[in-house]
Structure 1
Amino acid sequence: MKCADCQKYLPLYLDNECEPREKESIKAHLETCEACRNIRNRLQKEAEAISEAIGMERLPDSFTRSILEQLEPYPVVQQPQTEAVQEVASAPLRKRRNVFWKRALVAACAVVILSITAGALISPAFAAYISSFISRIGGEFGLKRAAEQGFNTPVNQSVTDQGITLEIKDIVADQTRLVVSYVLKDESGNVLPNLVIRYYEENRIYLTDGAGNMISHKPHGLSQGAGYADLLFMLKKPPNDLIVHFEMVNLKPAALKQGNWKLDVPVNLEKSIQATKFIPVEGEAASFHGIDLDFEGVTYGPSATRFVVATRRTAEEKEHIEKLTDPGGALEGTSVGDYRLHYRIEDEAGAVITSQTNPGGNRHIYFSPGYSYPLEEGGDGAWRWYGAFVPSVAEEKLWFVLEAIEKTEQADLLIPFRPADLASNPVTKQDDKFSSIFTIKRMEKGTDPTTNESVWLISLTGKMLESDYPRWKLYDEVGKTYEVRTDYSTSVVSGSIDSEINELEQTLIVTGLSTLPDQLTLSLQTAQKRYTDINWKVAIPPNTP
């Protein structure tokens, strides 16, 4: 490890925020480098001094007013000063009536001067009380490091309505993402336990450039930690100036009150864009199961490392999908032909750094179809997929490994059943090709929740790869087709990060069926199939000067 890298990340090392491997690299460097040990010792002393200076009870809300009431003008004393002290003492000096306030001020100034005179290396130990990304308990290492390096924008803007305050604390932004840290507070200034806010329906949180052009209609995600919450916007090629807009009328479930919370927060990315590097990768293309892939390169930003993979259907695959989905086709209006990637990032020892199937750890940031963009060329089915993870403090050799391609294909699963027998004899059918199993449990009269009309309802359960509701067709004994759609008010698809299989409870609404036939057949239209016979491994170029 180089001295520059060691010194840059010493504060994280001292705060036990490094991963075990990174911690060992810094520890080994300190054993052989006296200069870095001296800096470590200085940072430890500084942190202790700051802790002592601020280690007092929380000041009352009337603190500022009380000080101002006890101040009176005092003439400025002109005398030679060092450059560091001149900046602190440039404001007019005032005489205090109360000795206690004077002592408190001296302690606070000691902390400020200590941080200013620490030299070229400014420790985040003091910045921790400014940036919410550093001072928070836990949280993602990439955001902490970016804030430490000065790539954060302290905001501290707030708006209050109905006794609820929306306070924007801090923003970290670079070419890979923009993250807004915020809290919700009650009338007493206490942070609410539930900080989740909706950014859809009547609420709007969106991103524009300085001229008002839309960059993102809504955040890509929200996460909550201990006393904070973060909104994530994924960025593609952002301009230097952005504005985060909050237009909130409902803070449910945190506030349970209607109101008006509106803020416009400007962010400048010029510094972080200059610190970002894109490294293209040439000659890494492959084709599997009707999908062409090209690993285009990697972006190294202050808060994240991001790779990009371009995909498109082969000519044969595209023609096949068009025949199925054209007007009059067997699968018109379905999602047949959709696909997604499953990947992992591994180091030279084969250890998984992060994975699409099981992100885990604290280095995964994002990767999903929600973070893909249509290619400018190639038409339908051509995409760019962006995946981001937290970079390591130490140098490392990494590889992108494609684990699987998951495709929505035409299904051939037929489930014949006798409606009258379902109550005592549910029908189960397994589909080994698509790793799914379904059970029709009952068919009975019910009410269409949309039209309140009398309809037939089919209740079924299942286990499947899909994370969405499967689409069905219903046939009678003579081949007549009946319209079938999902009752979303009583249906649910659930899964967990530990399992690739999702649990299904689905209610199907059947219309156009008056008399119940002796036998019916439920036909599955599409299903997802995961192809794992793939061997595509791409070396990620290192971030070298």
Structure 2
Amino acid sequence: MNCPTADKLSQFVDQLLPKQEMAETEAHVQSCASCGKVVNAFQEEQRFIEETLQTPTLPGNFTELVLDQLEPYGKSKKQRKAVWKRVVLTAVGIVLAVGIGATVNPAFAQLISGLFTSNQVDEGLQKAAEAGLTQRLNLEVEDQGLTFVVEDVIADSSRVTLSYKILDESRKPQKPNLNIWNADNKYTAIDQNGNIVDMSGIGWPRGSDYGYIEFSLFDHSNHIEKLTIQFNLVELNGVQGNWQLQVPVDLNENRKLTKMVELQDATAVHHGVEIDLKKLHIAPSAMELFFETSLAKEELQRAEEAKRKLEERFGKEKMDSLVIGDTSGIAYHIENAAGNIIYSTERSTDSEIASLLRGSSEDTAILGRTTYAHSFVPKNEDQLTFVLDGVFKKEQAGFSVVIKPKDIERHPLSLDYKGYHLTVKSVEKSLVEAEDSVIIKLEGKVDFLDAGFGSSWMVVDEIGKVYPGKLSSGSMSMKGKDGRHDISIELELDGLQEVPEQLTLHLLYTTNYYPADNQWRVPLTN
């Protein structure tokens, strides 16, 4: 048989092909090295996604093990000292302790009434559930012997999160797998004015009967009163069918629980970056800080001149095809009344310091200006103070290196530039035969995370033809013991049919960090 398409190989990995095609494809993959590599890549990707979406679980008999240790009612027992998160079983009047970081077994989670009362969700949702914001829905639709059930919803001005289950004909829970690769599975949220709110998250903890779907209200929190979430699903757990469901959500009452603080004249300039803190929202499930960064006049002039020169060198169309990302940003922490750090944009091993729950940014029409919304788990603190740690600027790199692909295996090429320490691992034709492209793989370490680093490359072949280096895949780790982050990226050069004898790799931009010269402090709450 001819080599299957990448889409068919993806369906083969997900076991979605008919039985006969599965057998034929399996036989082909075993005899075709190229397709075998593609299948291995899909399997690695699948494992990575599952590990990212999943969390550890406690043993299946956890409930019985705990209940067996409880003394009969009326007897006293000395409690051991430990750090615990308490879960109250109000129906039977007993308190069980579940260690932080563990996941309650699905059967046990059902006893304590749903997903949002378990450690399978973030602490912000747990706090919202404790505050009584969980609304039981139990809306469902059935097709092909599978029932899709939306059980609970938590909604405030920060986000709307729904928990769901998939049941078989005997009402037994199945793996809550919604195929995120199937573009025909639609999850749409529409507000009272007909505006669409994008889905921000989906997942299912390992071993759980539950999954969750989340819609962020970052950019809409002042406007949305009602939301209708529409599910149009064509696949559940690999079964094709038709599941359509509408979930109405009324936010009018819960919006009143949000404290909104408008930050007046909270502006400063540090190292050529203008900072404007806009507002703070404290909702039951999240605390959100909204701000904007932009380039000061001289910095903006330099950025515009650098952009013009790059467009002259590589062509405006080629430059416009790159997604350069945020041109400026900030690092900061937030202190309480005692001066203790309780929030930080830098990830910390200190359990008392909360890192970002989630964040979003958007470049505006003005070069160098970016709007941000950062979200943290809310804490019961009356006085909060913003403290600037430093600023980030995306600046022209002007770094180039010549690559001879045939020599890479014998003489690996290393790149060292301003905190980036990389090695060119390979330059190869794409494994997907239907695509005319070449993949450059780079691995190494960086001194700090730069989300736009993988999209700041331009490549010129031996005859002078220009190819934007488009990020096809990549990963970055948290900071290691050496103070650096491991990084791996693959740059795809579309339209390049064969690997050239020689390529010149140009790094156009890097994001550079500048510590604040003095601590800029802004009271966020009184």
Kindly indicate whether residue 521 of structure 2 is the aligned counterpart of residue 540 of structure 1: no
CA gap of 1:420–1:494, structure 2 versus 1, over 3 A, is closer
* Residue aligned with 2:199, SS: coil
Provide, for residues 178-233 of structure 1, a one-character-per-residue CA deviation record: whole Å limited to 9, x for no partner. 1112222333333334545528722221211235x124132345463744333222
* Residue aligned with 2:205, SS: strand
Cα shift at 1:137:
4.9
Cα shift at 1:494:
1.6
Q: One-letter code of the match for 1:190?
A: K
Q: Report what 1:392 is aligned to.
A: 379
Kindly indicate whether residue 90 of structure 2 is the aligned counterpart of residue 47 of structure 1: yes
* Residue aligned with 1:238, SS: coil
Cα shift at 1:452:
5.4
CA contact (8 A) 1:466 1:528 kept: yes
Kindly indicate whether residue 223 of structure 2 is the aligned counterpart of residue 242 of structure 1: no
Which residue, out of 401, 408, 422, partners 1:415? Answer: 401
Within-5 A mapping of 1:217-236? 217-220=198-201, 222=203, 224=205, 226-235=208-217, 236=220
C-alpha distance in structure 2 between counterparts of 1:420 and 1:456, whole Å: 14
Q: Report what 2:28 is aligned to.
A: none
C-alpha distance in structure 2 between counterparts of 1:206 and 1:359, whole Å: 35
C-alpha distance in structure 2 between counterparts of 1:487 and 1:313, whole Å: 26
C-alpha distance in structure 2 between counterparts of 1:456 and 1:303, whole Å: 45
Kindly indicate whether residue 519 of structure 2 is the aligned counterpart of residue 530 of structure 1: no
Which residue, out of 444, 451, 464, partners 1:481? Answer: 464
* Residue aligned with 1:143, SS: helix
Query: Normalising to structure 2: TM-score of the pair?
Result: 0.66
Q: Report what 1:314 is aligned to.
A: 296
Within-5 A mapping of 1:138-537? 139-195=121-177, 197-198=179-180, 201-211=183-193, 213-220=194-201, 222=203, 224=205, 226-235=208-217, 236=220, 237-251=222-236, 255-326=237-308, 328-330=311-313, 332-333=319-320, 334=322, 335=324, 338-349=327-338, 351-358=340-347, 366-368=357-359, 371-372=360-361, 379-393=366-380, 395-431=381-417, 433=418, 435-441=419-425, 446=429, 449=432, 458-464=440-446, 465-467=449-451, 469-475=454-460, 481-486=464-469, 492-499=473-480, 501-506=485-490, 509=493, 521-533=504-516, 535-537=519-521
Provide, for residues 11-69 of structure 1, a one-character-per-residue CA deviation record: whole Å limited to 9, x for no partner. xxxxx9xx97999xxxxxxxxxxxxxxxxxxxx9x9375679xxxxxxxxxxxxxxxxx
Cα shift at 1:278:
1.0
C-alpha distance in structure 2 between counterparts of 1:209 and 1:243, whole Å: 6
C-alpha distance in structure 2 between counterparts of 1:462 and 1:410, whole Å: 21
CA contact (8 A) 2:454 2:489 kept: no
* Residue aligned with 1:316, SS: helix
CA contact (8 A) 2:120 2:205 kept: no
Within-5 A mapping of 1:104-143? 132=114, 135-137=117-119, 139-143=121-125
* Residue aligned with 2:279, SS: strand
C-alpha distance in structure 2 between counterparts of 1:452 and 1:239, whole Å: 44
CA contact (8 A) 2:438 2:499 kept: no
* Residue aligned with 2:423, SS: strand
Provide, for residues 127-177 of structure 1, a one-character-per-residue CA deviation record: whole Å limited to 9, x for no partner. x97963554355444334433444333211012223332211111112122
C-alpha distance in structure 1 between counterparts of 2:83 and 2:386, whole Å: 22
CA contact (8 A) 1:406 1:528 kept: yes
RMSD: 4.1
CA gap of 1:21–1:508, structure 2 versus 1, over 3 A, is closer
CA contact (8 A) 1:474 1:481 kept: no
Provide, for residues 288-328 of structure 1, a one-character-per-residue CA deviation record: whole Å limited to 9, x for no partner. 23321122232222333222212233233333333333593
CA gap of 1:222–1:292, structure 2 versus 1, over 3 A, is farther
C-alpha distance in structure 2 between counterparts of 1:364 and 1:266, whole Å: 32
C-alpha distance in structure 2 between counterparts of 1:316 and 1:183, whole Å: 55
Consecutive unaligned residues in structure 2, runs of 5 or more: 1-78, 96-109
C-alpha distance in structure 1 between counterparts of 2:435 and 2:281, whole Å: 54
CA contact (8 A) 1:147 1:172 kept: yes
Q: Report sequence identity in percent.
A: 25
Cα shift at 1:249:
1.5
CA gap of 1:498–1:346, structure 2 versus 1, over 3 A, is farther
Consecutive unaligned residues in structure 1, runs of 5 or more: 1-15, 24-43, 53-127
Aligned length in residues: 412
C-alpha distance in structure 1 between counterparts of 2:264 and 2:430, whole Å: 59
C-alpha distance in structure 2 between counterparts of 1:456 and 1:304, whole Å: 43
Q: One-letter code of the match for 1:494?
A: S
Q: One-letter code of the match for 1:153?
A: Q
Within-5 A mapping of 1:54-65? none
CA contact (8 A) 2:460 2:467 kept: no
CA gap of 1:163–1:380, structure 2 versus 1, over 3 A, is farther
CA gap of 1:256–1:292, structure 2 versus 1, over 3 A, is same
Q: One-letter code of the match for 1:300?
A: I
* Residue aligned with 2:311, SS: coil
Query: Normalising to structure 1: TM-score of the pair?
Result: 0.64
CA gap of 1:527–1:269, structure 2 versus 1, over 3 A, is same
